[in-house]
Chains A and B, each alone.
Chain A
Amino acid sequence: GESVGLHLPTLSVQEGDNSIINCAYSNSASDYFIWYKQESGKGPQFIIDIRSNMDKRQGQRVTVLLNKTVKHLSLQIAATQPGDSAVYFCAENSKGIGGSNYKLTFGKGTLLTVNP
């Protein structure tokens, strides 16, 4: 069945270090992956996405890597700052009923703590 899971439930880093958050997915038919950041008391906030025809995509201080061979997704945050402290979710977009390309399946989330 479909599942998206995270390898590390918690991650603690020092300010200025790089952070890597990992995610495994099981639905090989998923063609779109998204990383969200959720701060306490707020809804998930879009960070970056990647389509299955790519293996790397870069944003501002963030990079997402996709390895379809092993069904693995990672989020790299460069020069991590205290404001990056949050729960990070990966999500895969898979086809729903009738082929509509949309249902998001989320991982459990990784809590990132940045120590000053």
Chain B
Amino acid sequence: KAGVTQTPRYLIKTRGQQVTLSCSPISGHRSVSWYQQTPGQGLQFLFEYFSETQRNKGNFPGRFSGRQFSNSRSEMNVSTLELGDSALYLCASRAGAGETQYFGPGTRLLVL
């Protein structure tokens, strides 16, 4: 099976812009979670989607949003970008609750 894929892999934006990142889960996986990874804060949970519904959400401002499509592919959006949003954004999928999460390679976002 193909693993979790994320696009784009690298992105450069300027403050105030918005960005959309995409994630395709492992085939058959209905759950997609998003994480932000920075050197200072480590891996932080953003949100999880299951069958197009957000099931849980981390402590991030409303500028961070996401959605999931009927084919389980997911997108996350960050509006009004700030310098502190520069990070590696990771997507992970799993078959169901309590199952192992498998990560994609991440999208590295740089905000100038």
Contacts and interface: CB of A to CB of B under 8 A. Distances in A.
B55 A100 contact: yes
B76 interface: no
B70 interface: no
Interface residues of A, number: 26
B75 interface: no
B55 A96 contact: yes
The 7 closest A-B pairs by CB, nearest first: A96-B56, A43-B103, A106-B43, A101-B97, A108-B42, A44-B103, A43-B105
Interface in A60-116: 89, 91, 93, 96-98, 100-109
Nearest to B108: A41
A106 B105 CA distance: 17
B55 A102 contact: yes
B64 interface: no
A35 B103 CA distance: 13
Contacts of A46: 100-103
